[in-house]
Structure 1
Amino acid sequence: MELKDIDLNLLVVFNQLLVDRRVSIVAEKLGQTQPAISNALNRLRRLLGDELFLRTSKGMEPTSLSIQLAEPIAYALSAIHSTLNQQALFDPERTSRTFTIGMTDIGEIYFLPRLMDTLAGIAPNISINTVRNTTINLKDGMESGHVDLAVGLLPQLKTGFFQQRLFEQKYVCLMRRGHALDKKKISVEEFSEAEHVMVVAPGTGHAKLDEAIERKGIRRNIRLSVPHFVAVGHILSTTNMIATVPERYARQCLAPFNLRFLEHPVDLPETGINVFWHAKFHKEPGNQWLRRLMFDLFSDKKNAAGSTPMQEPAGR
């Protein structure tokens, strides 16, 4: 017998008859008529080739086959019910769920310390994985549910995705304290002539800022290119190079590396940093909880209630 040949509602009737043993009570509990329950039982009898229940003065008594089927069917229905209703059972204080967030290394530096510290207090068993949000598989990963959220400037996430703005970030010049340019203001000429370390990060907002500088016809004396931000603080602290970096990242580096940042001499547009999630998981409670937490911790524009105003899926 194939599952496609069985109406699962028949198994619901079967399971309830095992409990109540009377057609009238089963009909009332399932919100159906007594003839409908009798008809369902007759259909199941024909499928299984057994009487399943025999009428007695004590009610409907199960046959030996029904007794044999009782436990596995009850278990299977319970598993289906739990699976379909597990969304409503999300409890951050008790769950041991692992969430995966797509972000760059600069996102890890800025978001993770505060996020993990907060989780330790309100959701001690929740774990976080991060993946690079520049990967070509990010869209598929989010659609399949392997990646819960992504954070950044991600224009490739359009149709089928929701997004919510966290903040606008501006760019600054970062350098060591005592640098020759460590003063109130630097000119475009001084910026251009200085030695630069540049982070090459295709597909990110930072890459777009590099393009904006080039479009303005400003040439930089780039002495070093690296693929990530992790080493930038270490490099600047012991060299005469400077770097164009997001202000929030710069603030994280000041004390650990004895650095200083200045207003950028080039008029650069601010970059919007958003949280993205796939429309399939828009109403999934765990996903809702995590993105609300991200909004509460990092948004510059929380409303009075601290909830997350949602945008429609991009591209729809």
Structure 2
Amino acid sequence: MDLKNVDLNLLVVFNDLLNTGRVGQTAERLGMTQPAVSNCLARLRRLLGDDLFIRTQQGMVPTPYAEALAEPVSYALGAIHSALNQSVVFDPARSRQNFVIAMTDIGEIHFLPALMARLAAVAPGVSVSTVRNLSIDLPREMEAGNVHLAIGLLPDLQTGFFQRRLFGQHYVCLYRHGHPLDHPGGMTLEDFTAAEHVGVVAAGTGHGIVDDLLARMGVARRLRLQVPHFVAVGHILRNTDMVATVPQVLAQCIAGPFGLSWCAHPVSLPEVSIGLFWHSKFHRDAANQWLRAQIVAIRPDGVDGGRTEDGATAL
């Protein structure tokens, strides 16, 4: 097929339909009418000789051919977008942009106070919204530009994304001041298995690897309570004798305010690598680059991870 016969606008509509699965939603996002979107789809079907999308009760479902086209079309449009926008200047002092960042409650506790203080000084008109990666289709929302960055342990963000390592943390044991196990010698494995625990089922964040590792190592916990997020852990521990296994960065943030102590974990658990993720489509976007720089500047260790912006890892 000769590229001169392909209207780029048809591919833009195709790419957006892959993200939304709805003709009406695509029309709204692209500033078109629904008949215009349907007409673009009909033209592309004739051009490519495939239905591309099948209408179902769940929306427009891509055919196998459309799914095969999805990634190369997305990359091509992303490259064009970056090339056309690479000279655009982002002025943080004048901007009124709202940035959307996907992060966990740990990310909010650690990053947001420092980030908002920094923005107040250098970008007073910029605002931030956060979302949970499980509440949305994160890869597609980031590709569409509705979510600008994601922070955390996110093994599901692979093809089409860049990652920069922010910092590494180990898991520790967290408990209240005055806990029977709060002594200078730290916690033994026997202490750990005898204690009652609050477990955090943080689905989709990667922290579930801890439960899997403990199970494979035959380390049994007496789980007295399980919660779906970390934000309640401080409130729970300060009034009970339970123990929680949490990333060190969370322990450092909440130990003081909640009257808690923490110690090295008695089980040899792997380091948690917290990363900053963005879609390749926005790798050269000036506003996205600026926001990434602000987040890198407030990392807890204050030490560069060894990669320049141009050397970020493409996944």
Normalised TM-score (structure 2): 0.70
Question: Could you tell me which residue of structure 2 aligns to residue 196 of structure 1?
Answer: 197
Question: How far apart are residue 86 of structure 1 and its match?
Answer: 9.4
Q: Give 2:261's aligned residue.
A: 260
Q: How far apart are the structure 1 equivalents of 2:291 and 2:261?
A: 33
Say if 1:197 and 1:303 are closer, same or farther in 2 by CA, change over 3 A.
closer
- Measure the CA separation in 2 of the matches of 1:308 and 1:211: 34
Which position in structure 2 is the counterpart of 1:249?
250
Q: Distance in 2 between matches of 1:261 and 1:85?
A: 48
Match of 2:304 in 1: 302
- The 3-state SS of whatever aligns with 2:133 is coil
Count of residue pairs brought into register by the alignment: 230
Query: How much has 1:310 moved relative to structure 2?
Result: 2.9
Q: Quote the residue 1:230 is aligned against.
A: 231
CA distance in 1, matches of 2:230, 2:295: 22
Residue identity in the other structure for 1:222: L
Helix, strand or coil: the match of 1:155?
coil
Shift of 1:256: 0.8
Q: Return the offset for 1:267.
A: 0.5
Which amino acid in structure 2 is aligned with residue 133 of structure 1? N
Structure 2 contact 167–305 (Cα < 8 Å) conserved: no
Deviation at 1:307, TM superposition (A): 5.4
- 1:207 is aligned to 208
Matched to 1:311, the amino acid is: A
C-alpha separation in 2, matches of 1:139 and 1:216: 33
The structure-2 alpha-carbon separation of the partners of 1:87 and 1:96, relative to structure 1 and needing over 3 Å to count, comes to farther
1:132 positional shift: 0.7
Q: Any unmatched runs of 5+ in structure 1?
A: 1-83
- Indicate how the Cα distance of structure 1 residues 93 and 229 shifts in structure 2: closer, same or farther if over 3 A, else same: same
Tell whether the 8 Å contact from 1:292 to 1:307 is kept in structure 2 after alignment: no
Asked if the contact 2:86–2:285 (Cα under 8 Å) also holds between the matched residues in 1, the reply is: no
Matched residue SS, 2:88: helix
- Cα gap change, 1:272 to 1:303, in 2 (>3 Å): closer
Residue 262 (structure 1) shift: 0.8
SS at match of 1:147: coil
Q: Deviations over 1:193-219 (max 9, x none)?
A: 101001111122321112111111000
CA–CA distance in structure 1, aligned partners of residues 218 and 168 of structure 2: 25
2:86–2:286 CA contact under 8 A, matched in 1: no
Per-residue Cα deviation, 1:213-252 (whole angstroms, up to 9, x for no partner): 1111000000000011111101100111010001110011
Residue 134 of structure 1 and its aligned partner are, at CA, apart by: 3.2
For the residues of structure 1 that align with 2:287 and 2:139, how far apart are their CA atoms? Answer: 19
Aligned to 1:110: 110
Q: In the aligned structure 2, how far is the partner of 1:264 from the partner of 1:216?
A: 14
In structure 1, what is the Cα distance between the partners aligned to 2:94 and 2:311?
A: 27
Q: Helix, strand or coil: the match of 1:265? A: coil
Indicate yes or no: 2:150 matched with 1:156: no
1:102–1:132 contact (8 Å) kept in structure 2: yes
Aligned: 1:284 with 2:285:
yes
Alignment of 1:93-132 (within 5 A): 93-132=93-132
Q: Aligned-pair distance for 1:121?
A: 0.7
**CA distance in 2: counterparts of 1:269 and 1:86, whole angstroms:** 39
Query: What is residue 140 of structure 1 aligned with on the other side?
Result: 140
* AA partner of residue 171 (structure 1): Y
User: Which secondary structure does the structure 2 equivalent of 1:205 belong to?
Assistant: coil
| Mapped partners of 1:251, 1:151: distance in 2 | 18
Residue 312 of structure 1 and its aligned partner are, at CA, apart by 4.2
Q: Distance in 2 between the 1:303 and 1:227 partners?
A: 31
CA distance in 2, matches of 1:310, 1:292: 14
> After superposition, where does 1:73-92 map in structure 2 within 5 Å?
88-92=88-92
